[in-house]
Chains A and B, each alone.
Chain A
Amino acid sequence: MSAVTTPTAPAPSLTSVFVRLKLSLLRNGLRQSGGRTAAYLSTIVFGTVFAAAIVLAFVLMRGSADADSIAILVTGFVALAWAVMPLFIPSGDETLDPSRLVMLPLRPRPLVRALLVASLVGIGPVLTLILVLGAALSVAHGAAGTVVAVLAVPLSAVTCVALSRAVAAANVRLLTSRKGRDLALLSGLVIAVGMQLVNFGAQRLGQAGGLESLEPATAVVGWLPPAAAIGAVDAASKGDHAVAAARLLLTAAALAALVYWWQRSLVRLMVEPDGSTIGAASDAGTRDKSDGAGRLGRLLPGGRTGAVMDRSLRYIGRDPKTKAAWVTSLAIGLIVPIFNAFQGTGSIYFACFASGMLGMLMYNQFGQDGSGFWMVAQTISTTADAYAELRARALAMLAITLPYTALVTAVTAGILDDWSRLPEALGLALALLGAMTGTGAVTSAVFPYSIPQDSGYKNVAPGQGALAWGSILGGMIIGGLLCAPLIGANVYLHVSDQHSLLWLLLPVGALYGWLLVLAGLKLAAPRTANRLPEILTAVSKG
């Protein structure tokens, strides 16, 4: 333990100060809001159940041929998660932010030691420890295996945490810059896509001869710290003492190297500018240099319509929350019908899923502006202004969603080889897109809610959750009901065997959808114009 500060007073050690600081921050964070406490407690409950299940699963796996593969790969996966986590969830831990420590007279070595111990406090590290313990339990046999396991379990858990901190410290420049914060906002998307990939991989694994196909991966990961520590337990249990020792030493060496790397980054960070300074100083002069509206603007109509469309379309690429919403809608709208079609369980009507997902992008238009909405509110004084504003937003959205809906429907028809049903399905999809766009315009005006920009996980400000869900669910139900006449007509034509008339659903659906958009805009415009201050208040919360 390091004794710093004055010799007169018995100062507490730096490590215990940091651990207590961490606990206080945790406690105060929970005291701040009941919702946070509830979330934290449910995380603990969920985590405990999860950990118990994992340990049980590992224990049950003892003795099975694939136990070593699973134990090593799971540990490797956990380490990978720790390594990438700080890139997506930055500054979750205030005690570890070097910018808060620069003013204090601290020496690097005791500081890093204290920080490392403090980072072990929390749900994540404890869960990791349990997980690694389970992994070790599943492969440890005999006295040698047990002895190595006693060393390996804490070693690999600490290595995971050190890895995470070292990566975070090395990337502070990225994480404190605007680009890093944008990256963090996209994390939900990365996690969703990653889960799809894992899901897909697991399905492939099930088909391709089971867990034996993991052997080569195990051979490699078993030498990579911290999974190498679990590999050491496995090797020791199998009698390969030299291999076990080598793997254990490798992990210990990796831990030392990580801590050294972390310490060097910390020292550097305390005297160098962070990303925010660099971002402000550098001139990002790579943007479209043309006057005013730019290249995109020249394609669009003039006046308010063009300006609003231009802004909406630019925001799809530039604003992380908008981008995430669009990419999610576009991806899921494509994945659901096409995956179902590939698996042979699909129907061409699944293509309507795409128009439903994309139509939801019209919901809460003003919430997407945030408190920047005042600029819009300042220029709307009549119903006609509000109509022009909403119509331009709908046009910007339809400029992408309309062709995309047609594309998804056509691709689904192609995979199913069901071209004869393309017109009716497309007609339904267009009607649904119109219904969602129309109801979206109305709910944007009547039920606006704020989308906090500071967190990637909050899409609704506290107290507005019910409003958000209510407007989306209500809008979806009404959107579906509005399409009922067309669905009825489709069913009727099928049942009454008038297949030659089914193509009519395409022009009728397109026209009906267009009318629904117009009706929605007409309904929404006066409500927007009359409620500007209320909308501004609602979208500026949080």
Chain B
Amino acid sequence: MREEWIPTQLIARNTRPEIPIDDRAHRYRFRHFALLGRGLGLVAHLLFLKLTGRLKPVKTGQLLCAFCQKMGLLWIKLGQLLAMRPDLLSQELCDELARLQDRALGFAPEQARLRIEAELGAPLNEIFSEFEDKPWAAASIGQVHRARLRKNGARVVIKVRRPGMQRAFVRDMQLIRGGLSLLERLSVLPFMHWNELLWELNQVFVEELDYRYEVHNQMRLRKSLARHQIMVPRVYRRYCTTKVLVMEFVDGVSMVDYLYVVANQPHKLDAWHRENEIDPDVVGRRLLFSFLRQVFEDKLFHADLHPGNIYLMRNNRLVLLDFGSIGTLERDLLRKYDAYLEALAKGEFAKAIDIFVLIAPRLPSTNLAPMKEELMRALSSWKDRCHVPEISYKEKSAGWVLDTMTKALARHGITIQWSFFKVLRGWTTLDTSLRDLIPSRDLPGLMTAYMKQRRTREMQQVMGQLPADLLRLQNLVDYPVEQAEMGIYRGANLRRLAQVFEGTTNRVSRLVAASFGFFSAAFLVGAAAGTGLCLYQLADFNYGLDMETLRNLARFPKLDLQVWLLINGFLAYSSFSTGLLAQRFRQQE
């Protein structure tokens, strides 16, 4: 990163809040008990509120937040993961949970020094010429120190993992796994797919705890984002281990500061823009296009683009940070999502909705027409809104659309897989920045512009591969032969299928017809016997039978003529209708 790209300051540096140091080593000692106690307390509190009828989603969210905040680490991530599903939980609850921030508590710098030395296998002075003891930033997993490399004098930041993380992680994960599998077993809220959530959580954690993943993510994205004119700080790979990550220091203006100034001191902005040759519109476009390009073209995207991870530099340059969680969409899903977005941008809403429904892994066997109508209405009102610059960005954003869609789907019993929600989170976190950068732009227009750009890029790529493709084209020659071969199989298969099909259906029909015929006959015999018995009882017809049989017949209870008529009538009717059915089944259709 060059010197001339560094912008002037927007907010004075010294306003940066100090990071408190929390140094209690015993925090993980009685964790089980603490968890159990707090968990029971939470449940009791919720139950109490429920019983007294004061349970509101907001309150639930606040309580859950407090619980997760207290337990730290894994639980915060769990809360954040749950916040990604406004389609399943209520919106208020999710809003509350989304507020969960990693607690900015640092640990003692001596410990950080010790850890770095142990990991790098050399004294700190040997590698770094300067080392700032005060942590620059902190999160529950680790903290960041600024330093300067001795070798080339570059300013770097060192990310150090908090001590005892691995143990705490394993223990917490066990607890959560136990809890969630219990939920799964008891099938509490089965639509949440607890197992999937568990897997997702584990994945997030394994990747965030082990800095080696982050190093590789960063290196991969550095390569791919260079084409988007977006910078990613360089990683010093020889100083990176599982617990320590050393990378270039970025001296830019954080998007957080920028948004703060937009909200509170808008008069300062124009001067700053001019001074650093920044056009917010260009920046916003660049950010949005880059995200789309990451998702669809590079198939590897930064899943946590909140303002704290975006830095502004001179000349509309952008820097992205923190590659702890990146996303990849499975290609088939991606293709569907792509087709959906294209349809959306073109205003073909019916098609867009149909495609979106296909993203769900399983479809219920209900009538989807009302849901489609509902979505149609929402989308067309969104389209109208997009052309009105005065309406707030939030209601025009792509995140809003996605949110509406998933919620409507959930209401009709269709749940989308968790992996897809990484994109949703990407959208919503990105929206916070875009809201102030390009507040008035219409999204369909931007999307169409992106599609156009992409098409050009694809064309270029295709042109590059043209010679190879032409060579490959000769394979088309084999097509008729293959088809002819396939035709043989298919024809034979079809013929057999037709025969088998006919055979089985006929056999089944005949079987059913036979059983109905049997019943019909049985009923008829019953009716005849009933009539005979009636005549014997009331008119003393003995049919010339011997005494033995007549004595047996006499045991039958004596009934009136009317009752006999009823019974025989029913038997005859049943015989008649089953006979009709048998005939129906015997018919060739």
Partners in one complex: no
